[in-house]
Structure 1
Amino acid sequence: MTLLARNAAPASALPRPAGHRQRKPPSASRLWRVGVYLALVAAALFFLLPMYVLVVTSLKPFSQVSLATMWELPSAVSFDSFARAWTGDPSKGVSGLGANVWNSILMAIPATVLSAGIGSINGYVFAKWRFRGSNTLFVLFVGGLFVPYLSVLIPMVTVLRSLHLYGTIPGLIFVHVVYGLPICTLIFRNLYSTIPNELVETAKIDGAGILRIYTRVLLPLSIGAFAVTFIWQFTAIWNDFLFGIVVTSQPKVQPVTVALNNLAGSYVVEWNVQMAGALIAALPTLVIYLFLGRYFVRGLLAGSVKG
């Protein structure tokens, strides 16, 4: 027995079966990666807590809404708060959001398309058809990004009154297009500056004019930039409250953000209805991000590196 034990090979020296791999201790880089992912998941959950309260409260009846039960799931799912947020309660003098959502659609879509289209043309001119003083004009143009909104409210209202656009949805469209042009022009100008000038020169040799070069050469390369400007402008216009409450005084033509503020009653605030209205107001921007979100970062980086 002693001879057998003495002559026996240790377990580590025994031949391994085919395909067997020795386990390696986790490296520091792998542990760091796991820690980073856990931190990101924790941060995402933390920032999603308001959304959780928003959804849970909107699905509760008003009798179950309180600070003590804020984090609890509803005992029975109810969609009455969404219906009341959409149609309102005429008996309490509260109007719904249905008409105002349509006002925001009529305002946001044309303003987004116009500001992106005009900004694309401006960026094309500043990048490929430079003239004397174009750089100075471009700096002044982009300087509109840094003008505080509050400092121009009185001149803005005066101009809209003189154009007979005050208190109308076209007036809101005009304001958002003007304030959206600087950022849209900057995005497209940075993109078109990365496109080789040889393409434009070749198109000129072929007899293409300024408009045809834009539509045939540069416009097909602008999909990512248009996605960025559409997301940026639509979100900014849809979520705007200041211009909506200043330009439009009649509830019938106000956007949904102003109507959401008026959804609360005079004496009692039904928080489940308020939360449901907030979800209704936020839904269009969420849909835009779902459909165009993958183009957002790609479009932002399109003009970041000139090669």
Structure 2
Amino acid sequence: MIMVTKNLRKRNGGNDMTLEMALQFILFSGIFFIVVAYHNRAITIPDNKTLPTIKLESVRHSFLIAVIILFVLFSFTLQKQKSFSESRVVQWIAQQVGNQATAEELTKGITYDYGKTEVVYYSQEDIRWKNETYGKTDFISETGCGPTSLAMVISTFTNTTITPKQMADWSYENGYCAEGSGSYHTLIENALVSFGLQVEQANRLQGQKIANALSSGDLVIVLMGKGTFTSSGHFIVLTGITEKGEVYVADPKSEQRSQQTYPFGLILSESKGEGLGPFWIIHKK
């Protein structure tokens, strides 16, 4: 089932930066008025008369300093916003390039070494938990691909039995269950780290990195898009790769698909290249 990105700051980055700039402007304006008020203050003397302490030239001087400070700080904020915007543009361009690349283009120049890790396989359709709830209304058989994929990886690399139901409950209790649509993307990395595993994200343009990880015995969780494995979005586990670039998978939704290999280019091209991931490399201890 498709995963939903739980990262509002990333999704609404432009709005966050505009708000931040406005708040900083208000702060700097406040500092400016405080400085001016301070330099124009009057001191009360014993006979209840006031004695101006700053002459006009001094007031002009302090006013000029305050304006300069305000201008410098505001310019810094604008530059920060510009850098942030440019960074988002670069990320967007890279994502579009990856989304439009073909399987052949994505695998061009990649070399392969054999590697395969035997995993503890779990199926969402297992009668022991297929009808168990994930969240308040969903069922593991329908939307539990994320927790089930995690259960496979964690059980394999920690030598501790973690079932899909246990992982689904952990996800829900920690706020990663997206009712009606699966799980939030942040579930994958945060769950793996919580269980003591080392993980790093990769995208479809980093094929050699992913292939090397599989050859060395690492596991990879990937979010697949419409195609061979799903009509919307679905998590599977990559467990190995051959010298010819055929990938072994553990598909939590299908034992049959888990008994086949798939071209690495197909995995890259059908991966759901949006938001976080869509590849998470989990290093064996």
TM (norm. structure 1) is: 0.20
TM (norm. structure 2) is: 0.21
Select the structure that is richer in strand. Answer: 2
Query: Which structure is richer in relative contact order (CA contacts within 8 A, separation 6 or more)?
Result: 1
Bigger-Rg structure (1/2): 1
